[in-house]
Copies of this chain bind each other. A is one copy, B any other.
Amino acid sequence: MNWLLLFVPVAVGLEHFAPERHLLIFLVSSLAILPLAAWMGRATEHLAERLGEGPGGLLNATFGNAAELIIAIAAMRAGLHDVVKASIAGSIVGNILLVLGAAMLAGGIIHREQRFNATGARAQAVMLTLAAIALILPAAYRSAVGAGAAQALVLLSVSISIVLLLVYGLYLAFTLVTHSSLFLGSHAPADEKAHSPPWPAPRAALVLGAATAVIAWMSEILVGSIQPTARAFGLSSTFVGVFVVAILGNAAEHATAVTAAMKGRMDLSLSIAIGSSVQVALFVAPVLMLVSLVLGPAPMDLAFPAGLVLIMLLSVLITGQVAGDGRSDWLKGIQLLAVYVVLGLTFFFLPDTAPR
């Protein structure tokens, strides 16, 4: 797949010399991201093997979401709060439904049944429920109070952001320090390790860093082309934020989680997929909110549109059920993917002018 890396210079060239070819830029930069995500996944997995599965999974999620944070900050500075919120919601939903669904399906085709550490998965699912509640309440507040209370809504959003960041810090202490053993999963069989010895940590870190930087660059080029492309296809900006930006932003998690599931390492897979959603909800979202106070142009509240609240709540609901019993099979993958498709269809048919 490495030949797709040729699209990196092509994307840069198009951006400079033919900036009006939005659809072409969109396609080229998307294609360029794919091999980068694969390299990122490979490097992350090697580094993860050096670090152990818990921190490794967290590492995966951190680097997957770095790209999203950069994209979202760019959109926020352009005042596109709707796109930022859509990409936050899409990333939470996409990691759970698309990434975890694809991983469980791919893993389930190879392995009849895979076991994973249910206690760790449940702790993450509760964390997501907590985050969903925290991201539902500002919307409920706005619907109760009306448009007049914009300032109180920002104050509420700031308060909730601080609570979420505190909880996230404690959650990291839990997963990495006091209860790290809950997040150590079943290891890959020894023979498989034998014929692919993990890279040295510095090499893995270097590849990871380089791939991250270029992904971020490609992502910015891509973001600029998304809205004009979407308009050309008659799609709403919410659909694009939820289902296009988030898929590309999560490509790294996607590749790594699916690969891990196929290798029988469902614990790493879950750690990546759900952990990434947790990180977006408890870290990326509040950081973006707080950064908007400084970088402007206007403070971004955490009141998500009703449609986004609904899909976050429904996704979290089904995740709790799917991840709670410590086993996965291909049907679970199908179930998660089906929910993703149905959500996607609904937003696909939503006209751009409708309240979201």
Contact = CB atoms under 8 A, between A and B. Distances in A.
A167 interface: yes
Given A144-B307, A338-B163, A152 B349 contact: yes
A140 B307 contact: yes
Contacts of A354: 144-146
Interface in A299-342: 306-307, 310, 314, 317-318, 320-322, 324-325, 327, 329-332, 334-335, 338-339, 341-342
A125 B320 CA distance: 12
A126 B332 contact: yes
Interface range on chain A: under 10, 10 to 19, 20 to 34, or 35 or more?
A: 35 or more
A51 interface: no
Nearest to A345: B159
Interface string A231-269: 000000000000000000000000000000000000000
Contacts of A130: 318, 335, 338-339
A342 B134 contact: yes
A10 interface: no
A141 B335 contact: no
A345 B156 contact: yes
A178 B345 CA distance: 29
A196 to B, nearest CB: 30
A4 interface: no
Interface of A: 112-113, 118-119, 122-123, 125-127, 129-130, 133-134, 136-138, 140-141, 144-146, 149, 152-153, 155-156, 159-160, 163-164, 166-167, 170-171, 174, 178-179, 306-307, 310, 314, 317-318, 320-322, 324-325, 327, 329-332, 334-335, 338-339, 341-343, 345-346, 349-351, 354-356
| The 9 residue pairs across chains A and B that have the minimum distance between CB atoms | A174-B331, A137-B346, A156-B349, A167-B338, A159-B345, A145-B354, A134-B342, A152-B349, A133-B314
